[in-house]
Amino acid sequence: MIQKPKGTYDVYGKYGKNVKYVERLINALMEKYNYEFTRTPIFESTNLFHRGVGETTDIVSKETYDFIDRGDRPMTLRPEGTAGVVRSYIENKRYGEASVPVKSWYYGPMFRYERPQSGRFREFYQFGVEVFGTNDPLMDAEVISIPVNLYKMLGLKGIKVNINSLGDTETRLNYKEALLSHFKPYIDDLCEDCKSRYEKNPMRILDCKVDHDKDCIKNAPKIIDYLSSDAKEHFIKVQEYLDLMGIEYNINPNIVRGLDYYTNTVFEVEANIKDFGSQNVLCGGGRYNKLVESLDGPETPGVGFALGFERLLSALDAEGIELDNDTLDVYVIPMSENEKKSAFHLCNDLRLNGFSADMDYMNRNIKSNFKQADRLEAKYVIIIGEEELKTNILTIKNNNTKEEYKVDINNIIEFFDGEIDEHWYGTIWWLYISKKL
Ligand code: HAM
């Protein structure tokens, strides 16, 4: 039997419903924040990630899915979303648009060849945003507020927001010097990768998965102590704006992030839930004021974040949060072959009028049909038999209260309009019904 590749998973059943619920919430939230949806290819030139994410990061040096396409071009399945969105921003000359900032959001699969374990997959989904064109700390705070508000709306309580600043160019130069002199006496104790990181990019030593417990890493100088006065001021403002929104946070000087493009604010949200497991970083992001330039675009500040979709759903599960998934509005039962056409027609009408409807396709008897209606958690059941076809009066049963109603077939839609008023896609269906779509 062919099995799914290691580190991947299938979505179906209740999990599928929860995925769709959270996706709908994200869609609605991004509308409220006035972000535009962006989609970029799942594979891009390998070079984009080498230059964008950074040659010396674990993601690029060890975890990418690379392949040569049939035209001999080196391609990579995207390990994250930022590099592609930045490429698209530059290639489509979005820096020339009058409306600044450009605020975009995305959602889709990412690929990293990591050792699979709970909360860590080789194909996983990210929801993220990237904002271009402003260095205002207000935007850093807005970006941090997006995942925090999403978690809050879903009812997640155990979250901890950690923030740090990696400063500007001046900060980085001073800090690099400090790191080089700090690690010099310990070079021989470090792993082979870290020895090369020492030469190429000493900050990457700080997030080494092999050496991370060594004292020389724990006692390394912290970048926050080297912030330039501009960087310090920027960071203080971010905190003021977070305070304004009532978002609690910790300043955690150990957050350096595993990607090279960050400047100034960086942040991560951790799940603070008992027994959640070690893959507890629910999301991460920050500012990247040099990335657009480094990918041959004009000097443009940027800030964004991405959250792991699977980890979000696991966190909801760990806190025992049941998502309020909408259930089937109407289940239609034809009593025999003779009423099937009418049942089918009625289902179609109900669906086009904005109600979810399903019917019996299996010629069940009435008892097992009611069982099926219960399995589908149908709110109402309509039975169509010989008598109903003759009189055009249908029997509608409220599947919770067991109350019964006799309704003329021509008034069915009005009846449900009065009974069922909350629909996820209400607006879209209203537009459709009023022929505006
Ligand atoms: P990242 O920290 O590499 O940042 O990933 C963001 C989130 O994706 C993580 O916090 C985690 O929840 C999830 N994640 C990462 N790897 C895996 C995995 N193997 N399995 C399951 N979930 C995973 C970025 O990707 C940046 N592009 C974020 C960003 C956007 N920064 C600025 N803009």
142-156, pLDDT tens digit by residue? 999 999 999 999 999
Cβ of 234 less than 6 Å from ligand 1: no
| For ligand 1, atom 25: residue with the closest CA | 80
pLDDT at residue 56 in the model:
85
- pLDDT confidence bin for 212, thresholds 50/70/90: confident
What are the beta bridge partners of residue 285?
267, 305
Backbone angles phi and psi of 238, in degrees to 5: -55, -45
Ligand 1 atom nearest to 80, measured from its CA: 25
Cβ of 311 less than 6 Å from ligand 1: yes
| For ligand 1, atom 30: residue with the closest CA | 305
| For ligand 1, atom 31: residue with the closest CA | 285
Mark 312-348 as b/e (b = at least 16 C-beta within 10 Å). bbbbbebbeeebeebebbbbbbbbeeebbebbeebbe
| For ligand 1, atom 12: residue with the closest CA | 308
Distance in Å, CA 170 to ligand 1 centroid:
27
- CA dist., res. 249 & res. 159, Å (int): 10
Distance in Å, CA 331 to ligand 1 centroid:
41
- pLDDT confidence bin for 435, thresholds 50/70/90: low
Amino acid occupying residue 261: Y
The helix/strand/coil state of 285 is strand
Place of tokens 């799942």: 42
pLDDT at residue 432 in the model:
58
Tell me how crowded residue 365 is: count the other CB atoms within 10 A of its CB: 10
CB 142 within 8 A of CB 267: no
Distance in Å, CA 246 to ligand 1 centroid:
25
Distance in Å, CA 124 to ligand 1 centroid:
9
The helix/strand/coil state of 259 is coil
pLDDT at residue 325 in the model:
84
Give the residue with greater pLDDT, 414 vs 249.
249
The helix/strand/coil state of 270 is strand
Question: Token pair for residue 218?
Answer: 């724990």
On whether the pTM is more than 0.85, the answer is: yes
Q: What is the C-alpha R_g of the chain? A: 27
Give 364-377 pLDDT, tens digit per residue: 999 999 999 999 99
CB 234 within 8 A of CB 265: yes
In the predicted model, what is the mean pLDDT of residues 243-264? Answer: 93
- Strand 74-77 relative to strand 65-68, pairing: antiparallel
Does an H or E element contain 68, and which? strand 65-68
Cβ of 120 less than 6 Å from ligand 1: yes
In the predicted model, what is the mean pLDDT of residues 112-135? Answer: 97
Distance in Å, CA 33 to ligand 1 centroid:
21
- pLDDT confidence bin for 417, thresholds 50/70/90: confident
Cβ of 283 less than 6 Å from ligand 1: yes
Cβ of 284 less than 6 Å from ligand 1: yes
Cβ of 109 less than 6 Å from ligand 1: no
Ligand 1 pocket test, pick from 49, 124, 256 with the greatest ligand atom count within 8 Å of Cβ, gives 124
Backbone angles phi and psi of 289, in degrees to 5: -75, -10
Give 311-355 pLDDT, tens digit per residue: 999 999 999 999 988 899 999 999 999 999 999 999 999 998 889
pLDDT at residue 420 in the model:
85
CB 325 within 8 A of CB 17: yes
Distance in Å, CA 307 to ligand 1 centroid:
6
Measure CA of the first residue to CA of the last residue in the chain; give whole Å.
46
Computed over every residue of the chain, the mean pLDDT equals 93
Q: Which residues contact 8 (CB under 8 A, 6 or more apart)?
A: 121, 122, 123
What DSSP designation does 114 have? -
pLDDT at residue 259 in the model:
86
- CA dist., res. 112 & res. 49, Å (int): 12
- CA dist., res. 270 & res. 147, Å (int): 11
What are the beta bridge partners of residue 339?
none
